[in-house]
Amino acid sequence: MRQEIERLRVEYAPMPDDAMDALGDASWEISSAIINAPAESEPDLAAKFSHVAFMISEYDGECIDESEAVERACADLAKFRNEEWMRVMCPTPRQASN
């Protein structure tokens, strides 16, 4: 969705300032939601890294939240893999009986 908003900003520029601001605000909110969303699966993590890749390749140069997105995606990946390893290597008694 964020990529589509950014495409619209480019395709229909110039446009009235209010419209451009609304699209910018929507893009910012979507980006923030992706960055701060919990990563509970590999597809969640892949979505975060895909978002980071889009931000890096964005036509305007560096996004203000680009570094935060990279750091959060890497931290979420490390946390996810650590929790995954703990489930496999240190199962709870209930997991061990299944």
pLDDT of residue 24: 84
pLDDT confidence of residue 71: 96
Supply the pLDDT for residue 40: 94
* Segments of the chain with pLDDT less than 70: 59-62, 94-98
d(CA 94, CA 33): 34
Task: Specify whether the CB–CB gap between 75 and 51 falls below 8 A.
Answer: no
pTM of the model: 0.75
